[in-house]
Structure 1
Amino acid sequence: MEQIKNNDLFKTIFNSVPNGITVMKFVYNDKNEIEDFLIMMLNAYNRDLLGDIDYNEQLYSKVFPAAKNNGILQKFIETAQTGIVSNFDQWYEDENRKQWFRFIAVKQADLLVVTTEDITEKKQAEIRLTNALEAAEKQRRLYSSITNNTPDLVYVFDLNYNFTYANKALLKMWGKSAKDAIGKGLRDNGYEEWHALMHEREIDEIVATKKMIRSTVSFPHAELGKRIYDYILTPVVNEKGIVEAVAGITRDITDIKLSEQKRELSERRLKSMIEQTPAPTLVLKGDDLVIEQINKHMLQMIGRGKEIIGMPLIDVLPELKGQYVWEQVKNVYNKGISFDQSEVLVPHNRTGKICDYYYNLAYRPLIDDGQITGMIQVAVDVTEQVVARKKLEESENRFRALINASSDVVYYINADWTIMSNLDGGFLSGHSNLVSNWLNKYIHPLDKEKVIHLISESILNKSIFELEHRILNADDSIGWIFSRVVPILDHDNEVIEWFGNSSDITSQKEIQEVIKESEEKFRLLADMVPQIIWTSEPDGFVDYYNKRWYEYTNSKETELGDASWYLLLHPDDVKGVEELWYKSIKEGDSYQVEFRLKNANTGQYRWFLGQALPVKDKTGAITKWFGTCTDIHEHKTVTEKLELLVAERTKELQRSNEDLQQFAHVASHDLKEPVRKIKTFTSRLEEYYKGNIDETAAKFIDRIHVAADRMFNMIDGVLAYSKINANLRQSTLVDLNEVIKNIETDLEVALQRSNGIIKYDHLPTIEGATVLLYQLFYNLINNSIKFAKDDIAPEISITSEIDSDTNTAIITLKDNGIGFRSDQADLIFETFSRLNSKDKYEGTGLGLSLCKKIAERHGGKITASGSNANGAEFIITLPLKQNENNI
């Protein structure tokens, strides 16, 4: 009765388990090897899963045909053979869906008990979690790439005013690393007290109002000095609507501000110039040619007030449409063709009706950043002059002389140089009554004596009078004019009268003064510079040297020209310098050459770097050459000495390396020979005492074999380590995914034995030596398998990212093994370094040293971190491209 109860209880428990249980009997082949299993029992879970299939004493491979293809049956056979419990996950796919199961197989006498758990939902959740993590990581990399590659300053404050994030641009501005800056406040990061208080008040305001703040501030940059910044502070609100942080973006607008200030200054100067110019002038802007600026002279001329500013010109003067002058206006704006023409007929309305007027017109396009944005117009009303001239042409010959004089102001003088009349207007306006005492009223006192002297000579010689001189304007201002007076003679060669013209050259004189002042400033600045500075004509004729040239050469200031400086060159340099200089002059290219120049004070030659640039006009024609000569003697001599020293040291290092390589080969060969003899005589000893060796002696002999094998491996490791730098290897494109795939194949047995897995995907392709990169990752992965924890299958993860700033790949290899202490991170890369007992973990202690050498051979590096609880992590940084063809 008790047995029945126990059986019923067993069946109840057996069938109520939420997982599948299968009891199977071994099936042997003719070689007495297990090849399959007979199903003896299935619990209710498995029967529901199979449905109406007849399973009793059927082969497992027949009831579950997919088990043979996906490796499940083989793992059951291994458990049956070894007695080692199998615990693994495997997917199973039928016509309807793909399911994941976890199998636990236990050997019980000649039976195999298999527990099956449906983990499909768990696996799907893991896949969704992995995908979500990858998406989050991708989003993080994208965010990091955006924030760290923008020139703007990006940062985040916590509510205690401390920085929780700062991008590369901000760290660079501070001159700090993230470690030194993050977690610290404004003052700790170099902000002045007023600046820190300002931002703290703004953060408090944002927390209280949940509104962003935008403003401008000026403070110093670590490298660029004082700069102007535009910044935006924005609240970061959590799901409860509470501000949990404040994010900020700051942009350097110094150049923009300076550009605006320069543009404003330029516009103010242009406006001032237009207001002050005596000629009627206006500025038009935009496609509609809107009046942007207009001076009072132009307003008076067209009979309108300032209300026309902002109006299109054609709306102010609609009668211009279709006229010749309007076509020229459009050509200037649309094609950039300047227009200059005198006495242009323009019918338009000044006084309520359209009349004919004549103007001297000058139109110029205004160009901003290579684009035509408007134009400037200067229009001088010459209607009176034209009408008067036409009348004169119809009547008197003396007005033909007036035409020949072609002046701005025309007048005639009687024989004794008393002014009889002048055409009222121009710069003589207000001087209409100059018949008497005109020298005192008209001529500047400083020029009066010179004018009287030339007038006397003209009267005496009946010659033409020509002179640039100053005048006193009616408003007491001083102007410059060029006067030309021609005698009109009768048949007896006597002077009848004099016809004269005077041209206002005040503007030209002002420009000449500006040019003269600019040249004086240039010469003063050039004399302060320690370099030799010179200029020459387009043909190479030197027309200027600064003070430094005369100090160095003791030349006279009159010794200019195109050849005097050749005499001071070192004889070996003359030909090359001369050919290059005249080649530059001929082709219009910049000029740069090193040469030796004799110091007149010491008689010694010193090395100089000569440079010259052509100065060209708008048409591309050279108008001037500007050149410098920089003393590079110390730099030149030091460089030559360094080159010789480097060559000598390189030769010594090459010889030392060759000696070391030869020593490594000889040492490895000589060291192997005694180890070989140890193994040989140990084997002979075993053979000689075969059957007579007790357990202790056998153990000692095994240890001799193990020690000898370890010695062999260590000698091979030393030889491999020494050969890493011995031979150059061809640099090729290496797909690291393929490298890891090959390593996975080569370590297949070790991975299966330990149930280890390698996770990797989307590793980069880099330039390098395939064999060396294989050896690097093989050693790291093999170590992760070797140093796995006893009760945990090794899991190795390999990820990568690209640093676009340095053009390098950063590859991270992590495992879940025994790890090491953080203070051992540098020690593990040392030659023969071992952190664990050689009896428990075999090896030479050279693997990670080789990894370090290989990374450095590729121009990269390797670092390690880890702990005894969380395994080891290696970060390998490798360039995407190699500078040399061979490694």
Structure 2
Amino acid sequence: MIFDYYLLLDIVLAITLISALIWLLHIRRYLLKRNSELDKEIQRRIQAEKELFKNERNHSKLVHSIGEGIGIVDGNEVFNFANKAAEMIFETEEGKLTGRSVTEFLNEQEIEKIKTGTDNRKKGLTDRYELNIVTEKGNTKVIEITVSPNIDENGNYESSFGVFRDITDYKSALIKLRENEEMFRTLLNNAPLPIFYKSINGKYLGCNEEFEKFIGMKETEIVDKTVYDLAPAELADRYKEKDMELFKKGGTQVYEWKAKKNDGSVRNIIYHKAALYDYLGNITGLIGAIVDVTELKKYEEMLELKQAELERSNKDLEQFAYTVSHDLQEPLRMVSGFTNLLKKKYSTQLNSEALSYIDFSVDGAKRMQEQIQGILAYSRISTQASEFENIYLNEIIQHSLKNLSVAIKESGAEIKYGQLPRVNGDRSQFISVFQNLIGNSLKFRKEGFVPEIVIESKEIQDLNKIEISVSDNGIGIESKHLENIFLIFHRLHSQDKYPGTGIGLSVVKKIIERHGGTITAESERGKGTKFRMLLNREKK
């Protein structure tokens, strides 16, 4: 029995030990499984913390890289956070804006403004307004702020989240733009001409006071109207056509048309228009000014009539001068001839006084004949002119020098000229021009000096002209006489000292003017004279 008891006890103990062992194995398996799960949870949390750190770092980079200022301000207006852009706007050192009050950068008026804003945010409202600040470096700036409230989980106001940007340059540009607009409006309304401007769709955007007067409407009535609202269709069609042409080509435009004035009259108008462009170079509209030339055209018509009458009168006078001077030559020849015959036949019977009277008569008749021949030459410039042709000035000068060969030889004159251009003109008249100018240089030479005459040319590119000059080293002309030397019969010296008719330079001037040119003289007494002729270039 005892044996059985111990055996049973051993069996029970064995069973208990096996059960305990099995339980421990279960416990171990559970603990191993739980430990594995804990490891995974720890790894997950570590990874999550890494991601959170990474996100926070990226968020911080993002916030600090944004160009606009970002800040968090508590209820006392103290910065709890400020990004780099905010520090740049307030011009503080890096990290030095956090912990400082916004009010440090504001005047009293701006502080009241921000306090009102804080009261609104405590009510849960979002604000947007402008602030004038004085930065850490003492610079005045204008910033635009958008501020929203931060509310905690209990619904209480905690702080303000603000985004702000520096708009100082924008405000300055806006002020400048307004000043320019005001200056433009002042110039516009003080301009003596009616001025208007339109959009590219043809609607009026505005005008000045003169345009209001011309049309008989106020600017507020004109804006958004088209030409068809302001003018009859037969006039408006032309306006629209020219506007479309300007919008297509750009630049400027000038044309003549008509306009109906507020009194109902139709006026002759010259339109000056220019395309308007945006900053990209696209045409956005036009600006135009109108010049009323109605009265001017009437004067032009009257002037044309007067000019025609004057031309007829001049032609009649030239013909009359030609006829009279031609017809007077024969009687003068008779006077001169019979006076010489009288002297020859009765010289032995007349005393010296009578003979001198006869000489005076012959000399007077001779000078009268020279003047008549001068008048004939002057009148022939128009009455017996030749057709224009392209002529070589070198050939003209050679011809003139040949005609003056005796005087040149007697004076020993030196005449210099190089290669001269061709001009379009009357060949014989140009010979007369150079013969007169060179002849004057020979006549009015200084005693004891060899006459030096220089003929030169140069191009005047911007006028499409050429300048021909004839200069000498003669006795010169006093400046006070320069304006009168081209007048017909005007003389500066006595007939005895320098014989002549006083017509030569008048002939020269009339010939040059007939060729569409001008002639002027430069001189000083004793320093020679220089004549400048401005002529049209040769026609190709």
Task: Please give the TM-score of this superposition, normalised by the length of structure 1.
Answer: 0.38
| One-letter code aligned to 2:229 | L
Rounded to whole Å, the distance in 2 between the matches of 1:852 and 1:550 is 51
Q: Which residue matches 1:573?
A: 235
Rounded to whole Å, the distance in 2 between the matches of 1:771 and 1:823 is 32
| One-letter code aligned to 1:765 | L
| One-letter code aligned to 2:179 | K
Alignment of 1:117-132 (within 5 A): none
Q: Which residue matches 2:144?
A: 480
Rounded to whole Å, the distance in 1 between the matches of 2:429 and 2:56 is 101
Match of 1:620 among 281, 292, 301: 281
Alignment of 1:456-467 (within 5 A): none
| One-letter code aligned to 2:533 | L
Alignment of 1:43-192 (within 5 A): none
Rounded to whole Å, the distance in 1 between the matches of 2:186 and 2:163 is 39
Alpha-carbon displacement from aligned partner over 1:555-574 (angstroms, at most 9, x marks no partner): 4748633x445422465532
Match of 1:444 among 93, 114, 124: 114
Deviation of 1:665 after TM superposition, in Å, equals 3.9
8 Å Cα contact 2:381/2:511 also seen in 1: yes
Q: Which residue matches 1:46?
A: none
Rounded to whole Å, the distance in 1 between the matches of 2:477 and 2:145 is 95
Deviation of 1:724 after TM superposition, in Å, equals 1.8
8 Å Cα contact 1:410/1:423 also seen in 2: no
Q: Which residue matches 1:799?
A: 454
Larger % of strand: which?
1
Q: Which residue matches 1:528?
A: 186
8 Å Cα contact 1:443/1:472 also seen in 2: no
Q: Which residue matches 2:27?
A: none
- Closer, same or farther in 2 for the Cα pair 1:518/1:388, shift >3 Å? farther
| One-letter code aligned to 1:798 | I
Rounded to whole Å, the distance in 2 between the matches of 1:709 and 1:560 is 81
Please say if 1:735 is aligned against 2:398: no
Deviation of 1:612 after TM superposition, in Å, equals 3.7
Q: Which residue matches 2:163?
A: 504
Q: Which residue matches 1:659?
A: 316
Deviation of 1:640 after TM superposition, in Å, equals 1.9
| One-letter code aligned to 1:796 | P
8 Å Cα contact 1:535/1:543 also seen in 2: yes
Query: Secondary structure, in 3 states, of the residue corresponding to 1:835?
Result: coil
Please say if 1:722 is aligned against 2:379: yes
Rounded to whole Å, the distance in 1 between the matches of 2:348 and 2:498 is 23
Q: Which residue matches 1:765?
A: 420
8 Å Cα contact 2:445/2:451 also seen in 1: no
| One-letter code aligned to 2:144 | W
Please say if 1:882 is aligned against 2:540: no
8 Å Cα contact 1:447/1:470 also seen in 2: no
Rounded to whole Å, the distance in 2 between the matches of 1:836 and 1:662 is 29
| One-letter code aligned to 2:532 | T
- Closer, same or farther in 2 for the Cα pair 1:649/1:787, shift >3 Å? same
Q: Which residue matches 1:26?
A: none
- Closer, same or farther in 2 for the Cα pair 1:553/1:783, shift >3 Å? closer
- Closer, same or farther in 2 for the Cα pair 1:666/1:504, shift >3 Å? same
Please say if 1:811 is aligned against 2:470: yes
Alpha-carbon displacement from aligned partner over 1:246-292 (angstroms, at most 9, x marks no partner): xxxxxxxxxxxxxxxxxxxxxxxxxxxxxxxxxxxxxxxxxxxxxxx
Please say if 1:647 is aligned against 2:308: no
- Closer, same or farther in 2 for the Cα pair 1:774/1:612, shift >3 Å? closer
- Closer, same or farther in 2 for the Cα pair 1:797/1:390, shift >3 Å? same
Deviation of 1:860 after TM superposition, in Å, equals 0.5
Rounded to whole Å, the distance in 1 between the matches of 2:510 and 2:348 is 43
- Closer, same or farther in 2 for the Cα pair 1:539/1:809, shift >3 Å? same
Rounded to whole Å, the distance in 2 between the matches of 1:614 and 1:640 is 31
Rounded to whole Å, the distance in 1 between the matches of 2:365 and 2:338 is 12
Rounded to whole Å, the distance in 2 between the matches of 1:799 and 1:723 is 29
8 Å Cα contact 1:598/1:604 also seen in 2: yes
Rounded to whole Å, the distance in 2 between the matches of 1:656 and 1:515 is 66
Deviation of 1:759 after TM superposition, in Å, equals 0.5
| One-letter code aligned to 1:730 | F
8 Å Cα contact 1:467/1:484 also seen in 2: yes
8 Å Cα contact 1:763/1:799 also seen in 2: no
Q: CA RMSD in A?
A: 6.3
8 Å Cα contact 1:781/1:796 also seen in 2: no
Deviation of 1:723 after TM superposition, in Å, equals 1.0
Alpha-carbon displacement from aligned partner over 1:744-791 (angstroms, at most 9, x marks no partner): 434445666x4x4220113572545442232234345557778999xx
| One-letter code aligned to 1:649 | K
Rounded to whole Å, the distance in 2 between the matches of 1:696 and 1:681 is 17
| One-letter code aligned to 2:175 | E
Deviation of 1:742 after TM superposition, in Å, equals 3.1
Rounded to whole Å, the distance in 2 between the matches of 1:475 and 1:855 is 76
8 Å Cα contact 1:814/1:874 also seen in 2: yes
Rounded to whole Å, the distance in 2 between the matches of 1:586 and 1:828 is 54
Please say if 1:391 is aligned against 2:48: no
Alignment of 1:18-29 (within 5 A): none
Alignment of 1:858-869 (within 5 A): 858-861=517-520
Larger % of helix: which?
2
Rounded to whole Å, the distance in 1 between the matches of 2:255 and 2:207 is 18
Alignment of 1:812-831 (within 5 A): 812-814=471-473, 830-831=488-489
Rounded to whole Å, the distance in 1 between the matches of 2:146 and 2:388 is 81
Q: Which residue matches 1:836?
A: 495
Q: Which residue matches 1:289?
A: none
Alignment of 1:355-504 (within 5 A): 390-391=54-55, 424-426=81-83, 427=86, 430=98, 444-447=114-117, 468-469=128-129, 479-482=143-146, 504=163
Deviation of 1:554 after TM superposition, in Å, equals 3.8
| One-letter code aligned to 2:393 | D
Alignment of 1:222-237 (within 5 A): none
Alignment of 1:540-619 (within 5 A): 540-543=202-205, 553-555=216-218, 557=220, 560-561=223-224, 563-564=225-226, 566-569=228-231, 572-590=234-252, 609=271, 611-617=273-279, 619=280
Deviation of 1:808 after TM superposition, in Å, equals 3.6
Deviation of 1:656 after TM superposition, in Å, equals 0.9
Structure showing greater radius of gyration is 2
Structure 2 unpaired stretches of 5+: 1-50, 88-96, 102-110
Alignment of 1:263-274 (within 5 A): none
Deviation of 1:527 after TM superposition, in Å, equals 4.0
Alignment of 1:259-408 (within 5 A): 390-391=54-55
Q: Which residue matches 2:14?
A: none
Task: Please give the TM-score of this superposition, normalised by the length of structure 2.
Answer: 0.57
Structure 1 unpaired stretches of 5+: 1-386, 413-417, 434-440, 456-465, 488-494, 687-691
Query: Secondary structure, in 3 states, of the residue corresponding to 1:444?
Result: helix
Deviation of 1:580 after TM superposition, in Å, equals 1.9
| One-letter code aligned to 2:303 | V
Deviation of 1:446 after TM superposition, in Å, equals 4.0
| One-letter code aligned to 2:321 | A
8 Å Cα contact 1:597/1:608 also seen in 2: no
Alpha-carbon displacement from aligned partner over 1:315-337 (angstroms, at most 9, x marks no partner): xxxxxxxxxxxxxxxxxxxxxxx
Deviation of 1:859 after TM superposition, in Å, equals 1.4
8 Å Cα contact 1:471/1:481 also seen in 2: yes
- Closer, same or farther in 2 for the Cα pair 1:449/1:526, shift >3 Å? farther
- Closer, same or farther in 2 for the Cα pair 1:537/1:743, shift >3 Å? closer
Query: Secondary structure, in 3 states, of the residue corresponding to 2:328?
Result: helix
